[in-house]
Each structure stands twice: as C-alpha cells, then as structure tokens.
C-alpha cells in the first residue's frame, strides 16, 4: 500500500517537477588535470592538463552559469560576483594552477564592452587580456595556526592516527599476499622503469609510483624504453594493482579513520551547501584536490556498492558535484524551506568536457536525489567537523593540535566506536531525522493523493534519464 502510494507520487509528480526544477547552488570537487610524473619532482601542470581543467570549467559554465534550465538560481552570467563563489585548494603548484585554469573556463574574459570602466575624468579603462576577470583562490591553510580552523582542512596531512591506520594495510594479509604474488611481474617490468626504480624498489609497495611513471610516460614520452613490455595486459595489471593499493590506503570499512581526507571533505561540502541554503552565498563552491580524497569519500558514501569503478583512481581533471535542487517555485532572494530541497550527486571520470557527468545514488540509497535532511544526516555520520574533532580523531600530537584541547583516540576496528568518537551527538541527530523522515513520508503520501486527484491532467513526456549530461568528445582524454 505504501509502495503503491509512492509510485503514484512519483508518477504524478514527475512531469510537474521536471518542468520546474531549480538548482539553488552546487559544490564542485575536482582533481587536477594531467601533470608531470611524481617520479621527477617538482611536478607541474602540463598544457594538456591545463586544457582539461579549463574545458571542465567551461563545461560547468554551460551547466551552472549561462542562462538555461540548469543555471544556478540568481548567479551572475558574465561579470563574476565574488560573493557568489568560494574557491579553495591546498597550497600546491599543480592544484593552484588548476583552480585558476578552471575559473578561466567558468568565467571567461568578457571583452571590451563589459570589461571596461569609465573613470571620473571620462576616460574608459579596459581590463587586461580582453576583459579577463580575476577570481581569488583561497588556500586551505597548512601552517600551524592556533587561532582557528587550519590544519584539519588539509584532511589527511599531519593526521598522525590516520597515517598509522592507513599504514595498517602494509601489515594485512592482502598486502603480503599481493606483494609476493606480484614480485616477478614487477621485476619483468623493470626495464621500462629502470631510470627511476631498481630491482629492490620495483615492488607492489610502489604500485602507485610505478603506475604513475608508466601512465605519464605513455601520455608524454614517444620513446619509452622497452615499450614492447607495455602490452595492454601488462598496463592493465599495473593500473589494477595501483588502484587496489591506493584504495586500500584511502578507505577501510573496518576503520573510518583511514578515510579522514574524505571525512574532512564531507564536512566542507555540508558546511558550504548549508551556507548556500542559509545565506544564499556562496552559490557555487569549488575545491581542487587529490584522487585520495575522492577514493576516501567514495568509500564513506558507499559508492563502491553502486559500482566497483568507485574503487579505481579517478582520471585527471575528474570532478564530482553536489547540487541543491528544489521543485518549489523560487522567486526573489529567499530560498524555499529546506524540506523542499534535495541534493543530487554527479561524477565525471575525467574532464567533464570529455566524459559524461553522471548521477549516482549516495549512501546505498535508491534515489538519485536525497532530501537535504537525509543528506546532512548521512554526511554528518562520516564527517570530521572542525579542529577539535579533527584533533580528537587524529591524536594530540598531530600538527595544529594542542595537548590540552584534545584527547587521544585509540584506533579501533569497529566503525561504530570510531564514529561516535568523531561525531558529537550523532545518535540523537539520527533519531531526530528518522522522525522527520517519517513526518515527511506522511506529508508526501497525502500530497500524492492530492496530486493524484488534481495533478493527472498535467502530463508531459519525460526522458528516462533527465540529469545525464553529455558533451561532444573534445579529444583531450588522458
């Protein structure tokens, strides 16, 4: 009976809602574009990577900024309003360059007409580069800073307990088994990588560094030595082993501390989307980060249960976005009540200009859109939400923590225990939200009946997958 009502609800609401959905804001998390190999530091962004991230910015411009059905409500289309944007990244040459590159695509030069101002004496002054607009990129603090939130924003860096928890992997039977079963494979690949690796270091322990060197060389070096060894099977083997190695270090279902980078990211996503809903600013948040944060977040958000793909290292310039959507009519400057707002998650495995941006369900739920309260509850379960929480989880010897303000948490194998030590008052929050969801379900049930009675005349054809976005292939795939 209940199931029937929900089907009726969906059938009755779809046409109506499809026509009137509004995106209120979004949070984009992007990996950097193609870069030089980590084997020869310092790494730098390549022209290919610059193009990938710039094109991705252009894709999101089409989706969120320019006039259209997926435009963020009230966002400025040509001249950037800095109050509407929040851009962050760690202090890192590649990531900071990519933030700027992305923004060049998001808000390109506006030309002479819009990009000039008239001075008091009547002279018109044009901005450089055909009206290029400068958007400041905020650095996630890395220095020790006792005055406020700082270190914890960097996720895993400096988190003593998380590093230890992650390194547990090197003592696992999985690691030991793979190390010995792949030993001869890695030795056989040595001639390709012997500029950097030796017989002693060509081992599974360096799975990512080896894969990174091979992958980057295949993209940039037309004369890789012994390239006859790089058969499709061997390349796939190197990639698969690197994926397994990195996912094991980024996420462990038995110990959520391993995924601290994803936890910190989750808290930032909630923080900024909450600000968008509460104050209507920023409307669009952008953060540039590393693949490890993607993998940690994927694990925490149960995405591997949707597809094994989510245990693989994401391609260069990949992005995921969290959209605040509503079916309510939006007018003026106020946003609708939060019970009418949902969150949709989408991911593009590579520059969004080259690869489809696809929606996926989070937290093992069946729906591609989660009510805001459900989303917030689930995100809070996996979040670390401030310096104090971070120090509690990471241990008081971690960077930026004082020994008085924190207590040491023993890393345990039970996720429940770790969760409760990291999330203040979560159990009560869960209770409250379950109550709220029951109420919501009742309200929606009634609404379905009303709509069944009055809404059936609004019938409109609706495509099967409304939020799949594809762009023509741009030929820039890494």
Ligand X SMILES: *[C@@H]1O[C@H](CO)[C@@H](O)[C@H](O)[C@H]1NC(C)=O
Please tell me whether residue 362 adopts helix, strand or coil conformation.
coil
Angle at 32 between CA 52 and CA 54, to 5 degrees: 30
Please tell me whether residue 366 binds ligand X under the rule CB under 6 A. no
Task: Supply the minimum distance, in Å, between the C-beta of residue 91 and ligand X.
Answer: 27
Q: Of the ranges 85-93, 147-155, 246-254, 279-287, which one interacts with ligand X (CB under 6 A)?
A: 246-254
Whether the ω angle into residue 42 lies within 30 degrees of 0, i.e. cis, is yes
How far is residue 277 from each of residues 213, 271, 339, measured CA to CA in Å? 43, 10, 11
Please tell me whether residue 39 binds ligand X under the rule CB under 6 A. no
The Cα 112–Cα 116 span in angstroms is: 6
Task: Supply the minimum distance, in Å, between the C-beta of residue 114 and ligand X.
Answer: 14
Site for ligand X (CB under 6 A): which residue of 41, 67, 184, 461?
A: 67
Please tell me whether residue 185 binds ligand X under the rule CB under 6 A. no
Please tell me whether residue 69 binds ligand X under the rule CB under 6 A. no
Please tell me whether residue 169 binds ligand X under the rule CB under 6 A. yes
Please tell me whether residue 231 binds ligand X under the rule CB under 6 A. no
Which H or E run includes 117?
strand 116-118
82 vs 467, beta carbon nearer ligand X: 467
Which residues from 369-388 bind ligand X, rule CB under 6 A?
369, 376
Site for ligand X (CB under 6 A): which residue of 134, 174, 188, 364?
A: 174
Please tell me whether residue 218 binds ligand X under the rule CB under 6 A. no
Task: Look up tokens 């966002």; give the residue.
Answer: 75
How far is residue 230 from each of residues 34, 129, 144, 299, measured CA to CA in Å? 20, 44, 45, 31
Please tell me whether residue 7 binds ligand X under the rule CB under 6 A. no
Please tell me whether residue 145 binds ligand X under the rule CB under 6 A. no
Please tell me whether residue 413 binds ligand X under the rule CB under 6 A. yes
The Cα 263–Cα 296 span in angstroms is: 8
Angle at 237 between CA 232 and CA 49, to 5 degrees: 75
In contact, 304 and 298? CB cutoff 8 Å: yes
Please tell me whether residue 226 binds ligand X under the rule CB under 6 A. yes
Please tell me whether residue 225 binds ligand X under the rule CB under 6 A. yes
116 vs 254, beta carbon nearer ligand X: 254
Q: Report the candidate in 333, 281, 291 with the shortest Cα–Cα distance to residue 311.
A: 291
In contact, 393 and 422? CB cutoff 8 Å: yes
Task: Supply the minimum distance, in Å, between the C-beta of residue 140 and ligand X.
Answer: 21
In contact, 448 and 455? CB cutoff 8 Å: no
Please tell me whether residue 119 binds ligand X under the rule CB under 6 A. yes
How far is residue 182 from each of residues 166, 188, 230, 404, 417, measured CA to CA in Å? 21, 10, 16, 46, 35
The Cα 163–Cα 171 span in angstroms is: 13
The Cα 176–Cα 170 span in angstroms is: 7
Please tell me whether residue 467 binds ligand X under the rule CB under 6 A. no
137 vs 382, beta carbon nearer ligand X: 382
Please report, in angstroms and rounded to a whole number, the separation of the first and last CA atoms in the chain: 50
Please tell me whether residue 276 binds ligand X under the rule CB under 6 A. no
Site for ligand X (CB under 6 A): which residue of 177, 187, 195, 465?
A: 195
68 vs 472, beta carbon nearer ligand X: 68
Site for ligand X (CB under 6 A): which residue of 46, 89, 243, 268?
A: 243
Please tell me whether residue 465 binds ligand X under the rule CB under 6 A. no
376 vs 433, beta carbon nearer ligand X: 376
Site for ligand X (CB under 6 A): which residue of 278, 279, 365, 473?
A: 278
Please tell me whether residue 355 binds ligand X under the rule CB under 6 A. no
Handedness of CA 170, 173, 178, 183 (dihedral sign): positive
Please tell me whether residue 12 adopts helix, strand or coil conformation.
helix
Site for ligand X (CB under 6 A): which residue of 22, 52, 252, 418?
A: 252
Please tell me whether residue 237 binds ligand X under the rule CB under 6 A. no
For ligand X, which residue has the nearest CB? 312
Q: Residue ranges of the alpha helices (H) in 225-352?
A: 232-250, 260-279, 291-300
The Cα 262–Cα 155 span in angstroms is: 7
# chain residues binding ligand X, by CB under 6 A: 50
Residue 42 CB neighbour total at 10 angstroms: 9
| Residues lying near ligand X in the complex (CB under 6 A) | 10, 13-14, 17, 67, 119, 121, 123, 168-169, 172, 174, 191, 194-195, 221, 223-226, 243, 248, 252, 254-255, 274, 277-278, 307, 309-310, 312, 314-315, 326-327, 338, 340-342, 349, 369, 376, 395-397, 403-404, 408, 413
């Amino acid at each position: 009976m209940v199931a029937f009502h929900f089907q009726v609800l969906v059938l009755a609401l779809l046409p109506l809602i499809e026509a009137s959905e509004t995106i209120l804001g979004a949070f984009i998390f992007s990996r950097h574009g193609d870069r030089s190999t980590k084997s020869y530091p310092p790494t730098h962004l390549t022209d290919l990577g610059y193009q990938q991230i710039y094109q991705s910015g252009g894709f999101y411009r089409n989706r969120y900024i320019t006039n259209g059905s997926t435009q963020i409500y009230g966002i400025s289309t040509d001249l950037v309003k800095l109050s509407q944007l929040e851009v962050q990244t760690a202090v890192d040459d590649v990531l900071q360059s990519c933030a700027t590159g992305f923004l060049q695509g998001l808000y390109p030069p506006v030309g002479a007409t819009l990009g000039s101002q008239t001075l008091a004496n009547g002279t018109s002054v044009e901005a450089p580069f055909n009206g290029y607009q400068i958007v400041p990129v905020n650095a996630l603090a890395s220095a020790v800073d006792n005055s406020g939130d700082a270190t914890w924003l960097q996720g895993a860096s400096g988190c003593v307990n998380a590093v230890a928890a992650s390194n547990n992997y090197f003592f696992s039977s999985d690691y030991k088994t793979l190390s010995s079963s792949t030993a001869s494979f890695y030795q056989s690949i040595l001639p390709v990588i012997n500029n950097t690796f030796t017989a002693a270091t060509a081992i599974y322990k360096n799975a990512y560094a080896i894969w990174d060197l091979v992958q980057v060389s295949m993209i940039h070096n037309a004369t890789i030595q012994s390239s006859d060894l790089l058969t499709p099977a061997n390349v796939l083997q190197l990639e698969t082993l690197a994926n397994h190695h990195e996912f094991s270090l980024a996420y462990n279902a038995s110990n959520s501390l391993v995924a601290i980078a994803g936890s910190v990211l989750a808290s930032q996503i909630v923080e900024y989307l909450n600000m968008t809903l509460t104050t209507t600013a920023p409307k669009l948040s952008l953060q540039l980060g590393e693949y490890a944060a993607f993998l940690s977040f994927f694990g925490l958000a149960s995405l591997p249960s949707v597809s094994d793909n989510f245990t693989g290292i994401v391609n260069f310039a990949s992005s995921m976005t969290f959209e605040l959507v509503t079916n309510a009519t939006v007018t003026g400057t106020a946003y609708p009540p939060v019970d009418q707002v949902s969150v949709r998650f989408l991911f593009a495995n590579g520059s969004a200009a080259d690869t489809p941006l696809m929606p996926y369900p989070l937290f093992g739920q069946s729906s591609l859109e989660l009510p805001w309260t459900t989303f917030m509850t689930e995100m809070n379960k996996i979040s670390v939400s401030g310096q104090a929480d971070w120090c509690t989880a990471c241990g008081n010897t971690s960077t930026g923590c004082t020994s008085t303000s924190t207590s040491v948490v023993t890393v345990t194998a039970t996720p429940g225990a770790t969760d409760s030590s990291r999330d203040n008052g979560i159990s009560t929050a869960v209770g409250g939200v379950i109550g709220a969801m029951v109420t919501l379900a009742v309200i929606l049930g009634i609404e379905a009946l009303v709509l069944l009675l009055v809404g059936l005349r609004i019938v409109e054809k609706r495509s099967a997958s409304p939020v799949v976005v594809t762009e023509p292939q741009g030929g820039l795939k890494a």
